[in-house]
Amino acid sequence: MISKTSIKYLTDEKGEKIAVQIPIQVWENFLADYTHLLQYQYLKNGLQEAFQEWEDIKAGKKTAISLNDFLNAD
């Protein structure tokens, strides 16, 4: 959790916020969480595509290949 006192705002000459400074540990935690989120999204998308492909195979819209053919494909 970020303490409001650890956040620093940079402002322009009009006093409008233009940037934020946060402690490096907060940034590193954010990057770790963001990386995990991207990995989760990648896995989720892959599974959704696989299930859709399976539905297409069952509906006769695509042809299934054997595991052996899949593993030996270039």
pLDDT in tens, 15-43: 999 999 999 999 999 999 999 999 999 99
Give the max Cα distance, the chain.
Answer: 66
Tokens standing for 49?
């595509």
Cβ neighbour number for residue 56 with a 10 Å cutoff: 13
The mean predicted confidence, pLDDT, of the chain is 92
Instruction: Please answer whether residues 6 and 21 qualify as being in contact, where contact means their C-beta atoms are separated by less than 8 angstroms.
Output: no
Select the more confidently predicted residue: 6 or 45: 45
What is the per-residue pLDDT for 58? 94
44-54: string of b/e by CB count within 10 Å (b at 16+)? eeeeeeeeeee
With a pLDDT cut of 90, the percent of the chain lying above it is 81
